[in-house]
Amino acid sequence: MNDSKAVEKAPEIDLATLRVDIDRIDAEVHRLLMERGEIIDRLIQVKARQGGGSAFRPGREADMMRRLVQRHKGLLPLDTVEGIWRIIISTFTYVQAHYRVHVDASGGDAPMRDSTRFHFGFTVPYVPHANAEQVIAAVAASNGDLGILRIDGGLGGLRWWEQLHDASAPKIIARLPFVDRADHPAGLPVFILAQPLAEAAARDVIVYSVYVDRWRKTLGSKIEKLGGEVLGNVGTDTGLSLLMTAPGGVSLDQLVAAFSEAGIANARLFEIGSHATRHQVRPATSVG
């Protein structure tokens, strides 16, 4: 039986037209970036009239990145989109108030440089240091710089988190990468330090420095049960110094109770910063 219906022929792709469309989109993206710059200029003027304020707003930045990941689709890799927006955010923050990024390069410069360039671009100056102590000192002495420290705490036996106890000392304001996935191109876990923020700090996760007299096997599971994590521990003359996190909704009384249940009655906790809950991206599953 013959099919009398004619097969519709797909329209031919006009390369010239497609290139015109690409040029139009590129010009519009550039125009919107310049418009963003004009708004930032007005923002700077408003802040100046209102007495200033921190250029860093970790909570708002986290919300922006969550929305970006949730709405993303299509051929463009998520890595590229995240990197572009990170550079846009960091560069416009730099335009508001010039800052440098001080980096602990004691564990290797290359991974720290990759993380810094991915999250802050090339406009923001990169300043490597020999250890975490130098980074903390540089941030403390600055007029608004940031610091980056690896989260594999205690590298070289340094208990750098103890230097953040004082109320006026730098504090942790973010944990990167914010978009949490196994194949992240700048996946080295790092903390971002800044001078204490008077406003806009993200407090989904609280970071603590903790003194205990000894380690107990059940402590890790007790903290994990509360949604927290022990990130580092270094021995001292009288016990252990821990770097630890807990959800913002967990009270100090609950943490003290967890230590007590683990057989530690004299834990001393110092809040040394906070950060937003990272956005987890599940790997795509193939259908067999």
Range of the domain at 77: 24-202
- How is the chain split among helix, strand and coil, in percent rounded to 5? 40, 20, 40
Please give the pLDDT value at position 284.
58
Domain boundary among 154, 183, 202: 202
Q: pLDDT (tens digit, 9 = 90+) per residue, 224-261? A: 999 999 998 888 888 899 999 999 999 999 999 999 99
Q: In the chain, which residue ranges form alpha helices assigned H by DSSP?
A: 15-49, 58-71, 78-96, 109-120, 132-141, 219-225, 252-261
Which of the two residues, 287 and 152, has the higher pLDDT score? 152
Q: Name the residue among 174, 146, 150, 145 with its Cα closest to residue 160.
A: 150
Q: Is the Cα dihedral 156, 104, 140, 278 positive or negative?
A: negative
What percent of the chain has pLDDT above 70? 90
Which of the two residues, 55 and 111, has the higher pLDDT score? 111
Q: pLDDT (tens digit, 9 = 90+) per residue, 53-100? A: 667 889 889 999 999 999 999 999 999 999 999 999 999 999 988 999
Q: pLDDT (tens digit, 9 = 90+) per residue, 166-191? A: 999 999 999 999 998 888 999 999 99
| Domain membership flag for residue 237 | yes
Task: Give the separation between CA 171 and CA 157, rounded to whole angstroms.
Answer: 20
Domain boundary among 202, 225, 257: 202
The residues that bridge with 206 in the sheet, in sequence order, are 246, 274
Phi-psi label, residue 12: left if phi above 0, alpha if psi -120 to 50, beta otherwise: beta
Structure tokens at 15: 């390369």
Mean pLDDT across the stretch 216-224? 91
Count of alpha carbons within 13 Å of 206, Cβ hemisphere only?
16
DSSP code at position 150: E
Lowest pLDDT segment from 62-66, 139-143, 153-157: 153-157
CA 135 to chain centre: 17
Peptide bond connecting 189 to the previous residue in cis, omega within 30 degrees of 0: no
Domain count, the chain: 2
Task: Give the separation between CA 274 and CA 70, rounded to whole angstroms.
Answer: 24
Q: Is the pLDDT reported for residue 26 higher than 90?
A: yes
Please give the pLDDT value at position 155.
52
Same domain membership, residue 230 and residue 186: no
Please give the pLDDT value at position 20.
95
Same domain membership, residue 41 and residue 160: yes
Please give the pLDDT value at position 55.
74
CATH code, 257: 3.30.70.100
Please give the pLDDT value at position 188.
93
Q: Name the residue among 203, 208, 219, 220 with its Cα closest to residue 261.
A: 219
Please give the pLDDT value at position 153.
54
In order, the DSSP letters of 223-244 are: HHHTT-EEEEEEE-SSSEEEEE
Q: Is the pLDDT reported for residue 210 higher than 60?
A: yes
DSSP code at position 3: -
Same domain membership, residue 142 and residue 211: no
State the amino acid at position 96 in one-letter form.
Q
Q: Are 174 and 56 in contact (CB under 8 A)?
A: no
| Domain membership flag for residue 159 | yes
Same domain membership, residue 155 and residue 107: yes
Q: How confident is the model at residue 201 (pLDDT cuts 50, 70, 90)?
A: confident
Q: Is the pLDDT reported for residue 51 higher than 70?
A: no
Same domain membership, residue 113 and residue 62: yes
Q: Name the residue among 168, 180, 156 with its Cα closest to residue 62.
A: 180
Q: Which of helix, strand or coil describes residue 147?
A: strand
Please give the pLDDT value at position 174.
95
Task: Give the separation between CA 273 and CA 205, rounded to whole angstroms.
Answer: 9
Please give the pLDDT value at position 283.
66
Phi-psi label, residue 108: left if phi above 0, alpha if psi -120 to 50, beta otherwise: left
Domain boundary among 202, 219, 252: 202
Tell me the C-alpha to C-alpha distance, in Å, between residue 18 and each of 12, 14, 22, 23, 28. Answer: 12, 6, 6, 9, 15
Global pTM?
Answer: 0.88
Strongest mean pLDDT among 110-124, 152-166, 193-207, 230-244: 110-124
Same domain membership, residue 30 and residue 60: yes
Which of the two residues, 35 and 56, has the higher pLDDT score? 35
Which of the two residues, 88 and 44, has the higher pLDDT score? 88
Mean pLDDT across the stretch 131-155? 88
Mean pLDDT across the stretch 22-50? 91
In order, the DSSP letters of 172-199 are: EEEEE-SEE-TT-TT---EEEEESPPSS
Mean pLDDT across the stretch 110-138? 95
Same domain membership, residue 264 and residue 221: yes
Count of alpha carbons within 13 Å of 239, Cβ hemisphere only?
15
